[in-house]
Amino acid sequence: MKPIITVFERSPDRGRGLARDMRVRWALEEAEQDYEVRTVSFEAMKQPGYLALQPFGQIPVYQEGDLVLFESGAIVLHVAERFGGRLLPEAPSARARQISWLFAAIDTVEPPVFELDLVDILDGCKPWLEDRRQALEGLASVRLDALAAALGESDWLDGAFGAGDLMMVTVLRRLSGTALMGRYPSLIDYIARGEARPAFQRAFAAQRTLFEASQAE
Ligand code: GTB
């Protein structure tokens, strides 16, 4: 059964592959699993029909037969378990560690990165913007310091590339090109290794093509 993912009709990331369908696309590509894409408008995302699939009215949604999933982390984990491939090792301990990194990406690293990326948009007019940005940079750098230390000289977080790396790279990409990320050359190289993977390239091209088509309409 070919999975179907639902993504933005017109992604606000302007084809940069920063919306959360990118991690699902990448996981499916790593698993060499063909998939279909449905698009949803901002208006339709808040209608009852869509809310029955995704209670928070967000993308991505993943459908595989009767199975409907939301939350990109849960979807990536499902894809890794369902379709195997390179995303999760067979050995139970290595598999559990890879899943730890997947959760670390979403639950420990992503929150400060996400807040920092949004602070100028959400709080751009506030008199305390600069203080808030500095506080968030401090929080994010605590996480990035620890991550860079854990990665060390290795290519990937725990042996071979896996679902944890996939998720971590998608999180870190939000800071690509920032002064903060410039302080972490090993993490810049880590992101580049992820982006160089053929599966990433295919996923990126697919979302980019969709975004460009949406602009042509
Ligand atoms: N925890 C959920 C998950 O991981 O699946 C969060 C899903 C989520 O945040 N979805 C966002 C969404 O649907 C899109 S990805 N937002 C619409 C809404 O909430 O009404 C987050 C995102 C949005 C925009 C950019 N961007 O423009 O760069 C990047 C990432």
- The predicted-structure confidence for 118-140, as pLDDT tens digits, reads as follows 887 787 787 788 888 999 999 99
Ligand 1 centroid from CA 160, angstroms: 29
Q: What is the mean pLDDT of the chain?
A: 95
- Indicate whether residue 137 lines ligand 1 (CB < 6 A): no
The preferred substitution site among 24, 41, 58 for testing ligand 1, maximizing ligand atoms within 8 Å of CB, is: 58
Instruction: State if residue 81 touches ligand 1 by the CB under 6 angstroms criterion.
Output: no
In CATH terms, the fold of domain 4-86+199-216 is Glutaredoxin (3.40.30)
CA distance to 37, 47, 126, 146, 188, per residue, from 118 (Å):
27, 26, 13, 22, 21
Quick one: what percent of the chain has pLDDT higher than 70?
100
Please say if the pLDDT value at position 94 is more than 80. yes
Comparing 123 with 216, which gets the higher pLDDT? 216
Residues 97 and 94: their CA atoms lie apart, in Å, by 5
User: What number is the average pLDDT over the span 77-85?
Assistant: 91
Q: What integer pLDDT is reported at residue 122 of this predicted model? A: 80
Q: Where are the domains of the chain?
A: 4-86+199-216, 92-197
Position 77 confidence tier, pLDDT thresholds 50, 70, 90: very high
Architecture of the structural domain at 92-197: Up-down Bundle (1.20)
Residue 143 has pLDDT above 90, yes or no: yes
Q: State yes or no: pLDDT of 86 exceeds 90.
A: no
Q: H-type helices in 34-175, by residue range? A: 48-51, 72-83, 92-103, 110-123, 129-151, 163-172
Q: Do domains 4-86+199-216 and 92-197 have the same CATH topology?
A: no
